[in-house]
Amino acid sequence: MDRNLLVATGIEVTYGKRAGLFGGHTPTPVLHGVDIRIGRGQTIGIVGESGSGKTTLGRALLRLVDVSAGNITFDGEDITHIPENEMRPLRRRMQMIFQDPMASLNPRHTIRRILTGPLLLHGIAGDTAEALARVKAVLDRVSLPTACLDRYPHELSGGQRQRIGIARAVLMEPDFVLADEIVSGLDVSTQAQALKLLKELSRELGLAMAFISHDLSVIRAICDHVYVLQLGRIVEQGPCEQVFAAPSAAYTRALLDAIPLPEYDPGWLERKTEA
Amino acid sequence: MTDMLLNVTGLSAVSDREGGLPVLRDVSLSLKKGEVRGLVGESGAGKSTIAKAILGILPRTVRVTGGWINFKNRDLLAMKPQELRSIMGSEIALIPQDPQTALNPGRRIGAQLADGLRLKRGLSARAAEARALQLLADVQIRDPDRVMASFPHQLSGGMRQRVLIAAAFAVDPELVVADEPTTALDVTVQKEILRLIRRMQEAHGTGVLFVTHDLGIVAQICDSVTLLYAGKVIEEGPVRSVLENPQHAYTRALIAAGPRYDRPDAGLEPVPEEIFHALRQEIGIR
Amino acid sequence: MAEPITITGPAAQFRPPSRFKTLLTEPKVLFGGGFILLLLVIAILAPLIAPKNPLEQDLMLGSLPPAWLDGAEPGYYLGTDDLGRDVLSRLLYGSRIALFVAVVSASLAALIGTVLGLLAGWYGGWTDRIISRIVDIWMAFPPVLLSILLVAVFGSGVHSVIAAIVIIDWTRFCRVIRAETLAQAQLDYITAARTVGFPRMKILTREIFPNIVPVLIALVSLEMGIAVVVEAILSFVGLSVSSDTPTWGGMIAQGRQLIHHAWWLLVAPLAVLFATVLAFNQLGGGLRRAFDPVMRR
């Protein structure tokens, strides 16, 4: 069995390729020549600032966005251009957790419906009773009370909604999870809770994870390997210890240098690192 | 004390929207001339509420129930609206959080800056324009003419924030309230903006109240810090001593909970439930 | 350890009250809905509560003024028309036609327009292009001419009135529902449904449609108000039901000619028509507002 679960080579994504009826927009390239390799059970980080293309990359890996060039292989199978009905059974194995849990949970569905639906769809649970049992087990694992099943998303707090999002993703027992900026905007303590939970879950379930973030400190906490994205290109990648200890790209150095640490460092403010 | 700029004493407020829930509990803090104080806390801690109380822009649903806000020996809470209006925007200025919504999308930058100068400084149109140009240069904008003629949507987030900083310091205020001014910015841009704020502050001798949830920012640009939880001051003091020698368990836990790019095991320990429990007991919440 | 669902203290987020409570405290919904409910009861119970037979003519009692004026007859509370028919009873019976037309035509127009709007908004591509083109062309026809044409073809009667309203107004629903569908499709919970692997049609019915319902309900209410007015217009020009059956539009047409010596014959149906349309509009507007704060944050 190949050690690598998800391999993407030479990925290119361009927006606005089709000329519209009115003369068309000029196509804007968002990703160029991106190579990503995610091993089974490995957690990689994708870091970049706004406009780096990191969100697009995540969606391309999940085939939610079409690639204009390149290949994506999942568990040995080339999924780059397979039709949606062939993709569907694979979707159970590749899940996603979203940044805004309020927007990613259907406001008109109860938590029960949101969580049991996917299980019944893929036949992971034979009937509602079995689905409910699995849901309760996962809720317990993410420290949420069963009482929340009958609630609607807007009745829960932000941290609770985030954990529902995590629960939904792991309920399907996927091989791979994409976490797209899932802790941005959370309080430090809630963030730590979510990261700790995610790290434990990925270890327990043997999940491969791609963690997208603009925050290098968060990436350090949870990832083994990191890819640094700048304007649609990978400028540096490697094991976290290596990249953080001795970054080779000037951009990476600039990113690290820009992070203010909560300790006395009188030279920090004036120190300039050119990207 | 002649160099005491701002003195908040025993400020308390409740939210009518949530049935009289206290949002500020007996908050006291002080700011000297030229001092940069960080106002830190998680969301809901009340830091924004304090800033709004000082600026006189509390929402109608929030009611001050006690205390006073002393600015240069005048109580801001007791002032009449027109007195307040004359102070805001000339002696006290704001650097807002969202550069996108703080600027009028339908008017050019130059016009917006000049407006403020003419209103607050009584400058003529031409003088205001010249001064606006100078201000943009002060905030290190390399092509101020282009920016003057631009609309807000044509500028980047960092650029817009520079314009807002220029606007804030344009009137040479004595106190600037910065309400999480870098939250919407990329980290590399954030550093430039923080540097700029500190430089402007030093050049004008302004006191700054810097609202943020980021202890790292506080460490790097503030002289002193006030930490809030549930509307109550938990700890305060010079930045270095609070961060290196935190007295309260909550402060310690909060510092430890933050991830660090130089430590692989940081950022995975949430603040323990016992500390929240103890805090709630200490404050007197259920 | 498990966290309690309800969080007290300033860390708690503001949770809006339950949807039904919001609905009932919204004054527009209360008054508009209340009036419509009353009208519904009246329409159903008309034969029982109308004081007189609306068709019964009595030339001896023609053009009697309403009860509070001189010359009134007891029992004819709002007076009579020139043929001696009781105005109040005719108004009560008139509500039957008005409501019947309103409910049926609004429902049918909603059905057609919503289905097409959902398909256009969700599937996009050629489906959207074709449907949108049809809507654009359809809306270019002058509605009044179209209704007269339809009545001329199908003959006068309730069914023609309903057909006319449905055929013209489905486009309104289509446009709005399509726009709303497009807006919902951008949101992350739809992307989440895609990543889960739900088939496209299932996402439309399971995920998107429930979020369209609030807008739809508000639109239907507004449409009912419009339908009442259209029916009144058509019966005003004599293209609606037969002249025997009392309709508000017919009463207005009649009252217009007799305004000089029997002003109440015009004022009564006009007032009731106005109140009904106002009630539908209020209800629709109130429903829209009541659903919004729960949904948008």
For residue C123, which of C68, C192, C199, C38 has the smallest C-alpha distance?
C199
Per-residue pLDDT averaged across B152-157, rounded? Answer: 90
* Residue ranges of chain A that CATH labels 3.40.50.300: 1-93+175-275
In a domain, B109, yes or no: yes
pLDDT attached to residue C292: 66
Contacts of C191 (CB under 8 A, 6+ apart): A64, A96, A98, A104
User: End-to-end CA distance of chain C, in Å?
Assistant: 30
d(CA A132, CA A152): 17
In a domain, C22, yes or no: no
User: Tens digit of pLDDT per residue, chain C (297 long)?
Assistant: 333 333 333 333 334 445 566 667 778 888 888 898 888 888 888 888 888 888 888 887 777 888 888 777 777 888 888 888 888 888 888 898 899 999 999 999 999 999 999 999 999 999 999 999 999 999 888 887 887 788 788 887 888 889 888 988 999 999 999 999 999 999 999 999 999 999 999 999 999 999 999 889 989 999 999 999 988 888 887 777 776 788 888 888 888 888 888 888 888 899 999 999 999 999 988 887 777 655 443
Residues of A in contact with C16 (CB under 8 A): 154
Task: Find the residue in C nearest to B230 (Cα).
Answer: C10
Indicate if B147 and B235 belong to the same structural domain. Answer: yes
Two structure tokens written together for A241: 């210890």
Residues of C in contact with B230 (CB under 8 A): 9-11
With CB atoms and an 8 Å threshold, state whether C11 touches B43. Answer: yes
Of A218, A221, A260, Cβ closest to residue B220: A260
Of B220, B264, B271, Cβ closest to residue A269: B220
In a domain, B56, yes or no: no
What is residue B263's DSSP assignment? B
Min Cα distance B202 → chain C (Å) is: 35
DSSP B14-34: EEGGGTSEEEEEEEEEEEETT
With CB atoms and an 8 Å threshold, state whether A98 touches C192. Answer: yes
Per-residue pLDDT averaged across A57-84, rounded? Answer: 92
Indicate if B261 and B158 belong to the same structural domain. Answer: no
Indicate if B17 and B123 belong to the same structural domain. Answer: yes
Query: Residue B1 class from Cβ within 10 Å (0-12 exposed, 13-18 middle, 19+ buried)?
Result: exposed
**A8 alpha carbon, distance to own chain's centre:** 15
Min Cα distance A268 → chain B (Å) is: 7
With CB atoms and an 8 Å threshold, state whether A240 touches B267. Answer: no
SS (H, E, C) C67-128: CCCCCCCCCCCCCECCCCCEHHHHHHHHHHHHHHHHHHHHHHHHHHHHHHHHHHHHHCHHHH
Of B17, B46, B285, Cβ closest to residue C8: B285
Contacts of A115 (CB under 8 A, 6+ apart): A135, A138, A139, A149, A164, A167, A168, A171
In a domain, B57, yes or no: no
With CB atoms and an 8 Å threshold, state whether A105 touches C189. Answer: yes
Of B17, B230, B285, Cβ closest to residue C14: B17
Residue % of chain A over a pLDDT of 70: 95
For testing contact with chain C, the best of A55, A74, A106, A196 (most C CBs within 10 A): A106
d(CA B97, CA C182): 31
Cβ neighbour number for residue A22 with a 10 Å cutoff: 6
Q: Is the pLDDT of residue A133 over 90?
A: yes
* DSSP E strands, chain C: none
Q: What are phi and psi of B265, to 5 degrees?
A: -100, 5
Of B17, B23, B286, Cβ closest to residue C8: B286
How many domains does the structure of chain B reveal? 2
Contacts of B244 (CB under 8 A, 6+ apart): A263, A264
User: End-to-end CA distance of chain A, in Å?
Assistant: 41
Q: Is the pLDDT of residue A17 over 60?
A: no
Task: Find the residue in C nearest to A178 (Cα).
Answer: C195
B161 shares contact with chain A (CB less than 8 Å)? no
d(CA A92, CA A69): 25
Model ipTM value: 0.87
Residue % of chain B over a pLDDT of 90: 66
Of A88, A155, A157, Cβ closest to residue C197: A88
Min Cα distance B91 → chain A (Å) is: 27
Q: Is the pLDDT of residue A132 over 90?
A: yes
Contacts of B269 (CB under 8 A, 6+ apart): A192, A196, B253, B256, B257
Show the domain range for C153: 31-50+74-295
Per-residue pLDDT averaged across A24-35, rounded? Answer: 81
Residues of C in contact with A102 (CB under 8 A): 297
CATH architecture of the region A1-93+175-275: 3-Layer(aba) Sandwich (3.40)
d(CA B132, CA B117): 8
Indicate if B184 and B269 belong to the same structural domain. Answer: no
Using DSSP, state whether B220 is helix, strand or coil: helix
Contacts of C79 (CB under 8 A, 6+ apart): C63, C64, C65, C66, C67, C69, C72, C87, C262, C264, C265
Note whether A162 and A182 are within 8 A (CB). yes
H-helix or E-strand containing A168?
Answer: helix A158-171
How many domains does the structure of chain C reveal? 1
Min Cα distance B40 → chain A (Å) is: 12
Confidence of residue B223 (pLDDT cuts 50, 70, 90): very high
Q: Is the pLDDT of residue A51 over 90?
A: no
In a domain, C90, yes or no: yes
Min Cα distance B34 → chain C (Å) is: 32
For testing contact with chain A, the best of C7, C188, C201 (most A CBs within 10 A): C188
With CB atoms and an 8 Å threshold, state whether C3 touches A158. Answer: no
In a domain, C283, yes or no: yes
Q: Which of B 25-64 lie inside 8 A of A, CB atoms?
A: 42-43
Indicate if B183 and B229 belong to the same structural domain. Answer: yes
Predicted structure pTM score: 0.84
A187 shares contact with chain B (CB less than 8 Å)? yes
Show the domain range for B91: 4-48+62-247
Indicate if B204 and B97 belong to the same structural domain. Answer: yes
Task: Express each pLDDT in B164-204 by its tens digit.
Answer: 999 899 888 999 999 999 988 899 999 999 999 999 999 99
A50 shares contact with chain B (CB less than 8 Å)? yes
Q: Is the pLDDT of residue B150 over 70?
A: yes
d(CA C271, CA C80): 16
C4 shares contact with chain B (CB less than 8 Å)? no
Cβ neighbour number for residue B36 with a 10 Å cutoff: 23
In a domain, C40, yes or no: yes
C201 shares contact with chain A (CB less than 8 Å)? no
* Alpha-helix residue ranges (DSSP H) falling in A97-157: 101-104, 111-121, 128-141
H-helix or E-strand containing B71?
Answer: strand B62-71
The neighbours of chain A, by the rule of 3 or more Cβ pairs under 8 Å, are B, C
Min Cα distance A143 → chain C (Å) is: 5
Cβ neighbour number for residue B31 with a 10 Å cutoff: 23
B145 shares contact with chain A (CB less than 8 Å)? no
Indicate if B180 and B260 belong to the same structural domain. Answer: no
Residues of C in contact with B280 (CB under 8 A): 9
Per-residue pLDDT averaged across A169-181, rounded? Answer: 95
With CB atoms and an 8 Å threshold, state whether A155 touches C15. Answer: yes
Indicate if B202 and B233 belong to the same structural domain. Answer: yes
With CB atoms and an 8 Å threshold, state whether B23 touches C12. Answer: no
Two structure tokens written together for B132: 């606006």
Cβ neighbour number for residue B164 with a 10 Å cutoff: 25
Residues of C in contact with A156 (CB under 8 A): 5
Task: Find the residue in B nearest to C1 (Cα).
Answer: B273
Cβ neighbour number for residue A142 with a 10 Å cutoff: 20
Task: Express each pLDDT in B89-122 by its tens digit.
Answer: 889 999 998 888 889 888 999 988 888 888 877 8
Which CATH number do you get for residue C255?
A: 1.10.3720.10
